[in-house]
Structure 1
Amino acid sequence: MQVLVVDDHPIMRVGVRQLIEAAWADVQVEEAETIEEAVHCFNARPPNVVLLDLSLPDATGVEGAARMLRVAKGVPILVLSMNPESGYAARLLQMGVAGYLPKDRASQDLITAIRRVLEGGRYVTASMADRLLALLDGKAPGALPHEALSTQEYRVMQLIAAGQGASDIAEAMHLSVKTVGSYRARILAKTGWKNNTELTKYCVQHGLTDSE
């Protein structure tokens, strides 16, 4: 079995490697610190599963996952992140990742999560599974404002919270400045935020900014 671990923290990569090698005798673990390195490793030797950090030097948040999904077609991606599940898991599962595991649960649940996604299933923690089911039923208690956003709106929200202006966001997302403005207007309308300051404050409070 071949596993690709994408994380810019050496200690985390070592810990993940040790857990995997203890669980499988015939496993080969490749490591990458950036999405660019990950793409190179993937193309050179396609893995059976990708373990992906959300905060990397050349990509953060959903952008890194989106870039990896374009390359790793048919190969499950399991996200390992310090960011809270409530902020990212539902969005990433909608995009196509196979699972989401908080890093503070990795030592207990990593092998179970890998086995689940290798079998073609999806993996989230039990508490997040309950929340996702409630969201599907429209019964989620206290549904968060950002959960109503589309994937593109969500990305614009994150970039605004990161302090990027409309021109920078347009360039990063390959959109026109006018389209970015339209997304911003829809974000404010859906969430009830009055301005970028309220948007940024919310993102910081809910761990939706780059925190790793």
Structure 2
Amino acid sequence: MATLILVRHGRSTANTAGILAGWTPGVALDERGAAQAAALPGRLARVPLAAAVSSPLQRCRETLQPLLDARPDLPLHTDDRIGECHYGDWSGRKLAELADEPLMETVQQHPSAAVFPGGESMRAMQQRAVEAVREWNARMEAEHGEDAVYLMCSHGDIIKALVADALGMHLDLFQRIHVDPCSVTAVRYTRLRPFLLRLGDTGDFGALIPRGSGDSTAESATAEVGGGAGAP
């Protein structure tokens, strides 16, 4: 079956502002995010992509644009099912404020039970994304053969949920997974099981450098809802 390249969008203005964007319109890549996107064609230069599938949100479309410019024959599709989680009333709010919400403990410790007010459940988010991947896998194999490789540009929580599914992990464990902006995660699907080939690969090891005890984020065991801004 197909090999799926999952790309998280480049760093966005919401990431740097510490805002949970969700489906808020007008969230674009910041300067660093644009540079990350510009480097993507070179990083994937040797990968024979059959197609690209994008979340409809602006930050994903902007991330893919340099790749599409470099490969004008690459077919582009849009799929709402790999769009960001519908965070409902949490959308557009500061993550620092949301940390005090009682729901945040559920999001962190028991995400399969988390339902965002005015939005969707994390369980539904994973289900729609997994269904999308299964359908695109079948389509890519039918159109391009069993060795087809294709790309999806999506969001942090979506990619983490897809990785959890590929690893056979319960959704309640998915907060143990982290993917930086514009990182590449690769899953090869076979008839019997998926194989995780890459996870959150940016080619930059800056995120592994200890930030010092004075940085509260370095000591926190709290996962960054939405994916965070990546290495400084």
| TM beyond 0.5 | no
TM-score (norm 1): 0.29
Return the structure number with greater relative CO, CA threshold 8 A, min gap 6.
2
